[in-house]
């Protein structure tokens, strides 16, 4: 059971760091508005799907994880 407690602490700390990161990502120029992101505005309804931003973030995170967890 002690391992479960450590897992929850790591998970919680990770969520806090991700939350802090999201506070600053919106202020960086170009993040979230890459060419290829879908943005549709029709009257009072706005639809935004950041597909290219999601792919770019996935690629960067995959490279970081593979770099740090390499044996």
Residues 47 and 21 in one domain: no
Question: For the whole model, what pTM was predicted?
Answer: 0.55
Residues 20 and 48 in one domain: no
* Residue 14 confidence (pLDDT) above 90: no
* Residue 63 confidence (pLDDT) above 80: yes
Express as a percent the part of the chain with pLDDT over 90. Answer: 14
Domain that holds residue 5: 1-29
Structure tokens at 69: 């967890």
Residues 11 and 37 in one domain: no
How would residue 17 be classed by pLDDT, with cut points 50, 70 and 90?
A: confident
How would residue 67 be classed by pLDDT, with cut points 50, 70 and 90?
A: confident
Those residues whose C-beta lies under 8 Å from the C-beta of residue 13, and which sit 6 or more positions away, are none
Domain count, the chain: 2
Instruction: Compute the distance between CA of residue 23 and CA of residue 41 in angstroms, rounded to an integer.
Output: 25
Mean confidence (pLDDT) of the chain: 83
| Tally of CA atoms within 13 A in the half-sphere of 28 that contains its CB | 10
Determine the pLDDT at residue 71.
59
């Amino acid at each position: 059971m002690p391992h479960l407690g450590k897992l929850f602490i790591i998970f919680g700390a990770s969520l806090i760091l991700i939350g802090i990161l999201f506070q600053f990502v919106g202020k960086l120029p170009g993040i979230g508005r890459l060419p290829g992101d879908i943005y549709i505005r029709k009257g009072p309804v706005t639809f935004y799907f950041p597909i290219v931003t999601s792919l770019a973030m996935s690629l960067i995170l995959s490279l970081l994880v593979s770099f740090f967890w390499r044996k």
